[in-house]
């Protein structure tokens, strides 16, 4: 196939996929109404409301799920015919169509175990293994929790008090992102309806109204929501032929969140309390998958010193759409820890094997790690553009390559033995 024809067909298929997924809004489809939140408070967190299929049916999906599934299947068949099922970009398109079909099926099962079955298929499980086939996500949560708890009570430097009102944060974040996204207008605005403190859209970031934040929160949102989530969306939109990369099915979620957490670490803006919050999402997801109900998870957060409202909000993240009585959570929140480990190891691997040129394509759009090499190769053919917006850590890889070179060696050393060695040295002194 001539390259011009190939690009034309890819562009048409990309536009079709972007349009097809447009009405699917996972978090909107599984959100709880105010009456449900009020129920918990009225019953003093002693009773569990009935949030089965009938409850979620009141919240329309906004599309016909059976017709939507057929639409994705027809689009996949067209991609096979026009690009060839062995074309590597076509394979990404086909995978994304399949992912969106599974999302629709997951939403059809809201309030049942079927929702969890598809959630686990799409986002994974705390009990799954990493690539070494010996370490589980749940094991990471336990180890990370122990290390972070050991830091409690220690002076690590500046204490970041939450004294910045949401309005002030919005103003400052708008100023910063205007400088970063010079060619695109990105808006930061207040919002009453989001569950998290901040949420990114295609060209905007929502900040929960009424909250107070720290100066470090501004840094984190700039990096996490701005540079990564909005940045990869805009980079995908600016792809000349493959703008389907601007939309991320669930298979890209762990890389999106992992890349965002990785950038927090690389930028030295993360703090232990932030890491604890992310790690607790993994821990409570594992608890819910193992059978804990929402009241048990609420009490878990209360035991950590959180208030009623905050505890319910954090527990809600895990049970929305799933089985509120336990055993069938929404597993999306494992993506932060899972993604960080996989992204960090991917960066180390690229440096170790002399392929740093692959790394900028982590930001080319909403991608999986397996997509990165494909995008790099198609860049060489003039099909995929380099990302327009790229953090300095990845636009200049000199410092990062040195970091990862040392990291590859240091990973071989036993920290327990090193700790014992220096302990003995202290005793000798």
Longest dimension (CA), the chain: 75
* Residue 272 near residue 347, CB atoms below 8 Å: no
Provide the pLDDT for residue 423: 72
pLDDT band at 428 (very low <50, low <70, confident <90, very high): very low
Checking if the pLDDT of 402 tops 60, the result is: yes
Determine the average pLDDT of the residues in 356-367. 97
Query: Per-residue pLDDT tens for 71-104?
Result: 999 999 999 999 998 999 999 999 999 999 999 9
- Bridge partners for 188 per DSSP: 205
Give the helix/strand (H/E) hosting 100.
Answer: helix 88-108
What is the rounded (10 degree) CA torsion for 119, 125, 126, 127?
A: 150
**CA proximity to 316, closest of 194, 221, 139, 140:** 194
Determine the average pLDDT of the residues in 25-33. 96
d(CA 356, CA 98): 31
Query: Per-residue pLDDT tens for 218-260?
Result: 999 999 999 999 999 999 999 999 999 999 999 999 999 999 9
User: Cα 2 vs. chain centroid, distance in angstroms?
Assistant: 37
* Residue 47 near residue 128, CB atoms below 8 Å: no
**CA proximity to 372, closest of 413, 415, 342, 330:** 342
pLDDT band at 144 (very low <50, low <70, confident <90, very high): confident
d(CA 40, CA 51): 12
- The angle that helices 3-21 and 65-83 make with each other, rounded to 10 degrees, is 170
Helix, strand, coil content of the chain in percent (nearest 5): 65, 5, 30
**CA proximity to 375, closest of 355, 229, 365, 240:** 365
Query: Per-residue pLDDT tens for 332-359?
Result: 999 999 999 999 999 999 999 999 999 9
- Give the chain's mean pLDDT: 93
Provide the pLDDT for residue 16: 98
Determine the average pLDDT of the residues in 386-401. 94
């Amino acid at each position: 196939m001539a390259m011009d024809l190939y690009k034309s067909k890819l562009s048409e298929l990309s536009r079709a996929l972007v349009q097809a997924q447009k009405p699917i809004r996972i978090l909107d489809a599984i959100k709880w109404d105010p009456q449900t939140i009020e129920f918990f408070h009225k019953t003093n967190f002693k009773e569990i409301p009935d949030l089965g299929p009938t409850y979620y049916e009141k919240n329309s999906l906004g599309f016909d799920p059976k017709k939507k599934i057929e639409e994705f299947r027809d689009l996949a068949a067209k991609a096979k015919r026009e690009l060839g099922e062995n074309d590597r970009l076509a394979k990404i398109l086909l995978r994304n169509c399949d992912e969106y079909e599974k999302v629709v099926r997951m939403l059809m099962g809201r309030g049942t175990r079927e929702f969890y079955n598809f959630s686990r298929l799409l986002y994974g499980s705390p009990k799954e293994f990493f690539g070494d086939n010996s370490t589980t996500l749940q094991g990471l949560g336990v180890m990370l929790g122990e290390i972070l708890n050991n830091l409690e009570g220690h002076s690590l430097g500046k204490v970041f008090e939450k004294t910045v009102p949401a309005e002030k944060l919005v103003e400052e974040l708008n100023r910063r992102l205007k400088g970063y996204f010079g060619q695109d207008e990105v808006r930061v605005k207040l919002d009453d309806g989001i569950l998290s403190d901040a949420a990114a859209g295609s060209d905007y970031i929502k900040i929960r109204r009424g909250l107070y934040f720290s100066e470090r929160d501004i840094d984190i949102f700039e990096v996490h929501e701005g540079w990564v989530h909005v940045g990869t969306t805009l980079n995908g939109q600016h792809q000349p032929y493959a703008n389907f990369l601007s939309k991320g099915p669930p298979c890209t979620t762990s890389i999106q969140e992992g890349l965002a957490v990785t950038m927090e670490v690389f930028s030295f803006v993360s703090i232990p309390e932030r890491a604890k919050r992310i790690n607790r999402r993994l821990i409570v997801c594992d608890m819910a998958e193992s059978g804990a109900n929402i009241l048990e998870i609420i009490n878990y957060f209360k035991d950590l010193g959180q208030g009623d409202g905050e505890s319910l909000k954090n527990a809600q993240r895990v049970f929305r759409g799933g089985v509120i009585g336990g055993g069938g959570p929404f597993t999306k929140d494992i993506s932060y820890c899972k993604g960080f480990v996989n992204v960090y190891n991917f960066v180390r691997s690229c440096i170790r094997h002399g392929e740093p040129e692959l790394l900028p394509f982590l930001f080319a759009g909403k991608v999986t790690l397996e997509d990165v090499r494909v995008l790099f190769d198609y860049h060489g053919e003039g099909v995929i553009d380099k990302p327009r917006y790229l953090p300095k850590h990845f636009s200049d890889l000199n410092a990062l390559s040195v970091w990862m070179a040392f990291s590859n060696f240091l990973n071989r050393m036993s920290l327990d033995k090193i700790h014992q060695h220096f302990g003995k040295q202290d005793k000798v002194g």
